[in-house]
């Protein structure tokens, strides 16, 4: 298959596997999504979904969040890891949302990326999942699979995002990035990978990746 045929195969396979696409992080509005995504850095979504109900029971909006101290936030979110940095980020961005944006999460990559502890990936998730703006957030699963599928050189997530946006139609970015995440978790993980279960990589994967798998 040429690259375009591989892209079509991927899209069609993922549509069959995931006709409806659950959002991995539990949230009820743009603010709670922003906090959940921030907490998910170097932490599993399952763990985040255990911690956010505890945090949001005390503060599910920036006005209540700034009433808590950084230390109080840190104690609640400690199981998510990186709690000193994340707690400062949550407290700081909540202040900025109130001071600059009337307590609302801005619908803008530029303003989101100005917030403490919010990088391009977090901003992309919020823009796509909260506001429906086409974006292609690249996490470790997407980065791994885009390389395995020979669609990027895999050198860094910036290049992987550019390649994904160039190859896949913009109209399906928001669904597709979630479908790839679920597929990566279920069929093409970094550890405990069974290539026979991974129909996409087995069919169109990078030859060196497949050869290395069988050598092991």
For 189-200, what is each residue's pLDDT tens digit?
A: 999 999 999 999
User: Which ranges constitute the DSSP H helices of 18-44?
Assistant: 30-39
Q: Respond yes or no: is residue 198 known to be catalytic.
A: no
Residues 167/3, Cβ–Cβ less than 8 Å: yes
The pLDDT of residue 66 is 98
> In the structure, what pLDDT confidence band is assigned to residue 174 with cuts at 50, 70 and 90?
very high
Task: Considering the domain delimited by 30-131, tell me its CATH architecture.
Answer: Orthogonal Bundle (1.10)
- Work out the average pLDDT over 31-40: 98
44-60: per-residue pLDDT in tens? Answer: 999 999 999 999 999 99
- Work out the average pLDDT over 1-29: 96
pLDDT above 90 (res 17) = yes
Q: How many CA atoms lie within 13 A of 205 on its CB side?
A: 20
55-113: per-residue pLDDT in tens? Answer: 999 999 999 999 999 999 999 999 999 999 999 999 999 999 999 999 999 999 999 99
Q: Looking at the domain covering 3-21+137-215, what would its CATH class be? A: mainly alpha
Q: CA 156 to CA 160: how far, in whole Å? A: 6
C-alpha distances out from residue 146 to 81, 134, 151, 188, Å? 27, 19, 5, 11
Q: Respond yes or no: is residue 121 known to be catalytic.
A: yes
The pLDDT of residue 140 is 87
Q: CA 202 to CA 54: how far, in whole Å? A: 42
- pLDDT > 90 fraction of the chain, expressed in percent and rounded: 96
Which residues of the chain does CATH 1.10.340.30 include?
30-131
Helix axes 83-101, 30-39, angle to 10 degrees: 160
- Work out the average pLDDT over 190-212: 97
Q: Of these residues, 45, 74, 86, 121, which one is catalytic?
A: 121
Helix axes 173-186, 140-148, angle to 10 degrees: 80
Size of the chain in residues: 216
Q: Of these residues, 139, 163, 207, 215, which one is catalytic?
A: 139
Which residues of the chain does CATH 1.10.1670.10 include?
3-21+137-215
Question: pTM here?
Answer: 0.92
């Amino acid at each position: 298959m040429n690259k375009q045929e591989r892209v079509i195969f991927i899209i069609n396979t993922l549509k069959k596997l995931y006709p409806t696409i659950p959002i991995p992080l539990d949230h009820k509005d743009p603010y709670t999504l922003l906090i959940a995504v921030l907490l998910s850095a170097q932490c599993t979504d399952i763990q985040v979904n255990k911690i956010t109900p505890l945090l949001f029971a005390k503060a599910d909006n920036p006005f209540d969040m700034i009433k808590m101290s950084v230390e109080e936030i840190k104690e609640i979110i400690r199981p998510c890891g990186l709690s000193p940095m994340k707690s400062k980020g949550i407290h700081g961005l909540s202040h900025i949302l109130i001071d600059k944006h009337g307590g609302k999460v801005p619908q803008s990559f530029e303003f989101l990326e100005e917030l403490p502890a919010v990088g391009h990936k977090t901003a992309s998730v919020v823009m796509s999942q909260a506001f429906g703006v086409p974006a292609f957030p690249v996490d470790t699963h997407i980065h791994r699979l885009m390389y395995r599928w020979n669609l990027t050189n895999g050198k860094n997530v910036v290049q992987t995002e550019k390649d994904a946006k160039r190859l896949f139609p913009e109209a399906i970015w928001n669904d597709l990035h979630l479908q790839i995440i679920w597929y990566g978790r279920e069929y093409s993980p970094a550890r405990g990978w069974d290539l026979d279960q991974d129909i996409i990589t087995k069919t169109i994967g990078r030859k060196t990746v497949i050869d290395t798998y069988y050598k092991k």
